[in-house]
Structure formats: C-alpha cells, structure tokens
Amino acid sequence: MEERVFKRDQHFPEASIYGLIGGIPEAFGGRTSVCLQRANAIAELDDRHIEILTLSPNNGVDTEGLTERLREEGRIGNRVTIRNVWSDLRRADSHDLAQIAGHSSQSITIDPTQPPEYDGSMEAKEVGSAGKTLKADRFREDGSRYNSYRRGGRGIEKSSVLFDLRGRPIAQWTEQYELYFAWMDWVIGTDPAIIINDGPPLARYLHKYQRKNVALVQTIHSKHSADPTKRSQRLGWTYTPALQHVDRFDHLAVLTESQRSDLTALNYVMDNVSVLPNMTTAEPTRKIKPRRTGAGVMLARTTFLKRIDHAITAVHRAQQAGIETTFDIYGVADEAQESLESLIGEIGADDTIRLRGFDPRAKRKFEESSFTLLTSEYEGQPLVLLESMAVGCIPIAYNIKYGPADIITHGVNGFLVPPSDIDAMAKCIADLHSMGERELLQIRKAAIKRAQDFSPGKITSMWGKTLTQVMANKLPPRDIEGKANLVEHFVDGNEMRLRVKITGEAATNPTWALLRWTERNGKRFGRLPAHGEQTAGQFLVTASAHTDDFASIDRGFIDFWIDLRVDGQPCRLRIKGAQELEPTAFAQAELYSTKFGSLSIRYESSNPESATV
C-alpha cells in the first residue's frame, strides 16, 4: 500500500482517534472492513497514527502479526496499528500494571493461594452448556497468571482480577468491561480522544464509558428492524443496545439519509445523529472497457440473506425470454451454497449461470461485466454497488432498506426494482440488453460519476467535519437531578394520554422530551412523541400512546419513563406519583401503579408477584 493516498484537505480535531471493534477474525465481513478502511483513510488524509482497539482474546496472542498481515493484504497502511487488551495486559511491566490497577477501587476477594494449573496454554477456560464462559484464566509466557474471570453464581462472586508479574492479585472489578475501561484509560490518558465503535454488542456497556476528554461515536451498519418505518416493529437485537443508549453517545453515525429519517420519525434518535456513508476505494475507470451487453456478475457470500436464488431465477427468466446472458457469482460458500447449486441444476443453466466461489480478484470482474444484481433482504449501504458503478458496471438492485435508493437514480446510473419482484428484475435485464451502445455508455458514465461521490477523500472529509463538531460540543459528563410525577392520565379504549410534571434540575428548559417505554424483563423499548412546556414555574410533559405502539410485547410488564436533554446532558426519569391510580383496562392489558408508585402496564397473563417494581 502506498504511504500517501490522499491529499491533506481537511482538518481533524486535535484529538487522538481510536477505532473499536470486538475482534478481527481470520475471515471477516463488511463491518470490519469498513472499520479498517475508515481508520486507514483518516490516518492517510490527516497524516496521523490511528490505533484500532480490539477486545477478543483471539487477537491477543499475535497482535503484531495481525497488524502485519492486514498491511500485506492492503487493508491498512503503516499509520494504522491493531491493539488488543489481552496482549497489552499479558506484556505490561510492573509500572504499567500498577497504573491500570489504579483505576479500580474494589476490594480483592479472590484467593490467590489456589491458582489453576498452567499447561502451556495462554488461556484456560470453562464454558457452560449455553456456550457462555463460566471462568477463564489467562497466562503470560512464563506461566504466571495475569487475569482471572469468574462469571459468578452458586456462591461464586462475579469478578475480573488483574495480577502482577509474580501472580499476585492487584486489582479487581465486578464486570469484565470495567477492566476494559481501565485499560482504555491507560491507553488514552487525559488528552482529548475520540472512540469510533463499530462493534454493535459493545454498545451495551460502552455507553457507560463517560470521560470528560473522550467522545464516543457509535456506528450503525445495517437496518435496525424488519420494517424500519413502523413503530410497532421489533428492533433487531444487533442494534438494540446502541439505540437503547443512544443519548449517552456523543454521536451516532448512520450510512444513509433514509435510515436517519426513519430513526428520527420513530424517535429513536433526536439531536446527535448524522449521515456518514461508507467510502469506496475502487478507482473510477477513465476508459470504459468494451463488454458483452449480456454479461452479468454478482459478488456475494452465498447466504440466504443475499437471496441469490432470486438473482439466478431472474437471469433464467430473461434467458427464457430470448435474452443471451450469462451470470457469474463470486463469493465465499455459505449456508445457501447447496440449495443454489441444486437450483442451477434444476433449471439446466450450468453452462450460463455459475457459482465461481471465492476469488480475491473478483472485483475486477466488474470491469468486464455489463450489469450486476443486488437481491438482498436488507443492507446498510451496499459497497458492492459502488464498486461496480466505479468501473461502469450497471447495477440492478431491489429497492430495499437501506442503500440502493440513496445511491442509484433509477434509469440514470442504474435501476431500482421493487423488493422481491423477480419478474421486474428479469424485465430490467432484458430492457438493458435491448438498449443501444450509446444509451448504455451514458448510463455507465453516470454510474462512474456517482461512485466518485463516495471517494475516500470526500467521505473522510465528512468525518473530519463531523468529528470536529463532536469535539467542539463535548461537555463533561454529569448526572441531571430531577423527578417525573404523573399529574393526569386518561384511557380511552386503545389509547392513553398522560401528563407528567418534571421537577428539579431536569425542569430547567429541556431541549426536548419523549415518553419512553421499556420491557421490564427484556430488551424491547420505544420512544413516543411528547410535548413539553413551562407553566407557572413547572415543566409539564404531555404524551399519548396507542396499544399498537407496544405490539412487540404480548406478556409481562412495561414501565414508563421520560427522556430529556437538559443543558446538553441526557436525563432519564421513571414516572412516579401513580399511587392513587386504580388499575385501568387498556386493551388486553391494564395500566397500574407498582407498590413504589411507578406507572406501568401489565398483561393479563403476567404474574402479579412480579408487578412491584
């Protein structure tokens, strides 16, 4: 990889920038690729060094080797380094260990007199029947133990313990992520810093990493629910943690304007989100190579999510209509491989539709292909479209959430097809085949021009402006004191209306207010529009809810909160003051007061003994 790829044309904030991801496996997908690509682009553009922090023990044995391999593959340049918590802890000297341990104030309870036996492995782990780690001990090369983790339960205290070079415990934390935080504090220090997190599961605890000098940026790489436009639709588990705690992040980055619009319409996000698309490093072609009009190609792992069977069927139907076309599919074999092979055999298309398998040079096939197909159930922002367009390969894509419509202008630089409409895709292939060379050339040129809007220089410049603003807006984290008390409520069939009084510091001119509901013993939640106003020295919030808003819940309990932004800080208050509320029927559930006077809903099948929170 060349030392310099981009000209320096954008100022980034005077802060260290770190990437964060759970781990980097041997074979990885789009999210990891984007993390590496972004880090490298920022490092090259701004002439700075960037570290990507990883937490997986699998990356802790040979982090230098991983860094070197990624450089040899062209994934990163010399300004980007992979760093791992376990590698650092394993090799830390006494001084560094003491500094990391200094971030713990918890008493040490582990018994150091009974260490596990060292058998030469870097890790000794016990996994339960559910696949979760029950305990793990990690060792240095000399056999001394540097970390002990216990999941807890059955009389065993939950803990993560750090040991000195002689195997003596010097610090203990209750949660494993608290050890991660101590390591991050040691790595980052007190200078201004930005962490860009590309690991969705990490959001469930990363939002707690509140430091006055560190800005947290969370990314979303895919759609957030099966039907992202409906309030009643369940959120996907992948991004639930990020959206649950979105106000605790300094910024949320999504890939497309359409996703930001959907998230905003459903009140999942308010004032800390921006659109930062993926970039493509594909070099725009200067001279469009001649190619057969009927030559089609697709780059996709053979998963059911990609619905490659739709693409194969569409090509076959175009062939049956008399169109001379071929279709080559490149990608790692996955769970749909066997069924796709059977489909090709059943329709007798072995000579014209081929599964080519993985090819590291597959992207070059776009240069000699006329069109490509995208038939996925959903995407975040499909880079494969930009890679094809950059060299004049015309995309024909299902108009799915998200990405295709944000990239393709139908009939100008590609084609959009209604989701799952195989016949429409087959017709599009046929229409493309019937076009003249001049018309096709026009579309190819428009596709190349559109791909340039996602060049590393342009997208990295957008990141620079956003991160500069994030750091300018960064406030020292603090808790906002306040209370939310129910003033009035009204239930009419499937609808209820609430009026809530906010007191304390939280009542001091909030920027916005929302009604939040959460599943008590689960992860589901939602936020509903609310109106706030200052009245006679009080701040009153009014909101309404319909039973459809809770359609993802059919049992158990729902609790209510008010979410606010006060003086730039997030604030969440449980709605109290419901002691006088008589249980009120609300469709198949009832509105009631817990024994602590909190406002909740319980469903008829719920256990009354659990209704006291």
Sheet hosting strand 123-127, strand order edge to edge: 123-127, 133-139, 145-150, 159-163, 169-173
pLDDT confidence band for 8 (50 / 70 / 90) = very low
pLDDT at 2: 40
- Same domain for 431 and 388? yes
- Same domain for 77 and 225? yes
Residue 576 included in any domain: yes
Point out the domain boundary residue: 275, 310, 336: 275
How far, rounded to the nearest angstrom, does the alpha carbon of residue 187 sit from its chain's CA centroid?
Answer: 24
**pLDDT over 50 at 525, yes or no:** yes
- Tens of pLDDT, residue by residue over 355-384, are 999 998 899 999 999 999 999 998 989 889
pLDDT confidence band for 585 (50 / 70 / 90) = very high
**CB neighbours of 556 closer than 8 A, spacing ≥ 6?**
519, 520, 521, 522, 602, 603, 606, 610
How many angstroms separate the CA atoms of 145 and 164, rounded?
8
Q: Is 412 left (phi over 0), alpha (psi -120 to 50) or beta?
A: alpha
- Same domain for 333 and 424? yes
Asked whether the bond before 398 is cis by omega within 30 degrees of 0, the reply is no
pLDDT at 65: 95
pLDDT confidence band for 66 (50 / 70 / 90) = very high
pLDDT confidence band for 606 (50 / 70 / 90) = low
pLDDT confidence band for 542 (50 / 70 / 90) = very high
- Same domain for 130 and 200? no
- The rounded mean pLDDT for the chain is 92
**CB neighbours of 57 closer than 8 A, spacing ≥ 6?**
86, 122, 123, 136, 138
How far, rounded to the nearest angstrom, does the alpha carbon of residue 129 sit from its chain's CA centroid?
Answer: 28
What is the β-pairing status of strands 569-576 and 557-566?
A: antiparallel
How many angstroms separate the CA atoms of 131 and 400, rounded?
34
Contact between residue 104 and residue 178 where contact means Cβ atoms under 8 Å apart: yes
pLDDT confidence band for 549 (50 / 70 / 90) = very high
Give the number of other Cβ atoms within 10 Å of residue 273's Cβ: 20
What is the β-pairing status of strands 145-150 and 133-139?
A: antiparallel
pLDDT confidence band for 607 (50 / 70 / 90) = low
The DSSP annotation for 328-380 comes to EEES---TTHHHHHHHHHHTT-TTTEEEEE--TTGGGGGGG-SEEEE--S--S
Q: Name the phi and psi angles at 87, rounded to 5.
A: -65, -45
3-class secondary structure, 20: strand
- Same domain for 557 and 412? no
- Specify the CATH number for the domain of residue 489: 2.60.40.10
User: What is the tally of helices (H) and strands (E) in the chain?
Assistant: 15, 28
For residues 428 and 382, the model is more confident at: 428
How many angstroms separate the CA atoms of 483 and 501, rounded?
8
pLDDT at 505: 95
How many angstroms separate the CA atoms of 38 and 32, rounded?
10
For residues 262 and 289, the model is more confident at: 262
Point out the domain boundary residue: 215, 247, 275: 275
- Specify the CATH number for the domain of residue 394: 3.40.50.2000
| Residue with token string 């076309």 | 325
Helices (H), 354-421: 383-389, 404-407
DSSP 289: P
- Tens of pLDDT, residue by residue over 454-512, are 999 999 999 999 999 999 999 999 999 999 999 999 999 899 999 999 999 999 989 99
pLDDT at 223: 87
Instruction: For the chain, give the longest Cα–Cα distance.
Output: 81
- Same domain for 132 and 80? no
Which amino acid is located at 286 in the chain?
Answer: R
- Tens of pLDDT, residue by residue over 270-329, are 999 999 999 998 888 888 988 999 999 999 999 999 999 999 999 999 999 999 999 999
Best CA proximity match to 521, nearest among 581, 600, 597, 596: 600
Contact between residue 250 and residue 474 where contact means Cβ atoms under 8 Å apart: yes
Q: What mean pLDDT is predicted for residues 419-447?
A: 96
pLDDT at 417: 97
Written as six digits, the tokens of 145 are 């133990």
**pTM for the model:** 0.91
What is the β-pairing status of strands 251-254 and 214-219?
A: parallel
How many angstroms separate the CA atoms of 344 and 352, rounded?
9
Residue 275's DSSP bridge partners are 254
Residue 474 included in any domain: no
pLDDT confidence band for 111 (50 / 70 / 90) = confident
Percentage of the chain modeled with pLDDT above 70: 97
Residue 160 included in any domain: yes
Residue 135's DSSP bridge partners are 126, 150
Written as six digits, the tokens of 112 are 């150091």
Sheet hosting strand 214-219, strand order edge to edge: 80-84, 50-54, 16-21, 193-197, 214-219, 251-254, 273-275
- Same domain for 198 and 71? yes
How many angstroms separate the CA atoms of 406 and 421, rounded?
20
pLDDT at 414: 97
Which amino acid is located at 560 in the chain?
Answer: F
Residue 190 included in any domain: yes
3-class secondary structure, 290: coil
Q: What mean pLDDT is predicted for residues 120-147?
A: 91
Written as six digits, the tokens of 269 are 């996000």
Residue 398's DSSP bridge partners are 417
pLDDT at 7: 46
pLDDT confidence band for 612 (50 / 70 / 90) = low
Residue 472 included in any domain: no
How many angstroms separate the CA atoms of 172 and 162, rounded?
6
Residue 218 included in any domain: yes
How many angstroms separate the CA atoms of 418 and 411, rounded?
14
- Same domain for 313 and 444? yes
- Same domain for 413 and 445? yes
Which amino acid is located at 284 in the chain?
Answer: P
Point out the domain boundary residue: 150, 173, 196: 173
Contact between residue 314 and residue 373 where contact means Cβ atoms under 8 Å apart: yes
**pLDDT over 90 at 233, yes or no:** no
Contact between residue 325 and residue 352 where contact means Cβ atoms under 8 Å apart: yes
Residue 377 included in any domain: yes
- Same domain for 271 and 299? no
- Tens of pLDDT, residue by residue over 174-199, are 999 999 999 999 999 999 999 999 99
**CB neighbours of 443 closer than 8 A, spacing ≥ 6?**
394, 412, 413, 414, 435
pLDDT confidence band for 610 (50 / 70 / 90) = low
> Would you call 509 exposed, middle or buried from its count of C-beta atoms within 10 A (0-12, 13-18, 19+)?
exposed
- Same domain for 146 and 219? no
Contact between residue 452 and residue 459 where contact means Cβ atoms under 8 Å apart: no
Contact between residue 357 and residue 330 where contact means Cβ atoms under 8 Å apart: yes
Q: How many domains does the chain have?
A: 4
Contact between residue 613 and residue 557 where contact means Cβ atoms under 8 Å apart: yes
Best CA proximity match to 269, nearest among 255, 254, 289: 254
pLDDT at 554: 84
- Same domain for 389 and 269? no
**pLDDT over 70 at 204, yes or no:** yes
Domain span holding position 112: 107-173
pLDDT confidence band for 613 (50 / 70 / 90) = low
pLDDT at 4: 45
Q: What mean pLDDT is predicted for residues 23-32?
A: 86
- Tens of pLDDT, residue by residue over 395-417, are 999 999 999 999 999 999 999 99
Residue 205 included in any domain: yes
